[in-house]
Structure 1
Amino acid sequence: MIKVGDPVLINPRHSLKFSRKIGFVEVILLDTLLNIGVSFDDTRQLYYFSADELITMEELDMWNRLGPVYCRYCGKDITGQFSFLCEDCEYPIYKEE
């Protein structure tokens, strides 16, 4: 359960701009889809996320205790990447032919 004042990590699977940044919950709204307002150290501006886009420090600690994790597709070590695929397999950059 996320509460006001909690530190949270932005899930890399949901945001490229804020990927892996740690912020603090400033406000929780009830009637909107993006209902959790998070601020970051460098600014007091609020950015809104849904609960699915945030990882609590407890979840991060549990994830890190799981041990090595490998990409389902290519087998590369992806420990701590919050995904089942490595970045190369999940976000492939296609070369022009």
Structure 2
Amino acid sequence: MKRRNYGFDRRRREDLRRAKQEAKTQRKTDREASGSVGPEMGEAQTTGAPEGMWEWFSASRARTLATPPRTRPPADPPDDWILLTEASEEEAAPEA
């Protein structure tokens, strides 16, 4: 079994932790200087089905599918599709 130099390993990890902390502090001061507040977050991504489409989820397939309104996905077994899109009054969900 190979012996490690524990003191060196510990100092190296501590240096890495300190460098990460300093970078984080620097980013925080840069954000404060530019006037932005809050946590670092990118642009919000669009979620859900495209406009004018219905989004369905299948637990057994572990995936989602977008279809035109009033259209169910193929009824291949297992037929466990769940409509995720909230349809408006004139677009009532199709009968199973």
Instruction: Report the TM-score, using the length of structure 2 for normalisation.
Output: 0.23
State TM-score, norm by structure 1: 0.23
Looking at CA atoms only, which structure, 1 or 2, has the larger radius of gyration? 2
Please identify which structure carries the higher strand content: 1
More helix by share: 2
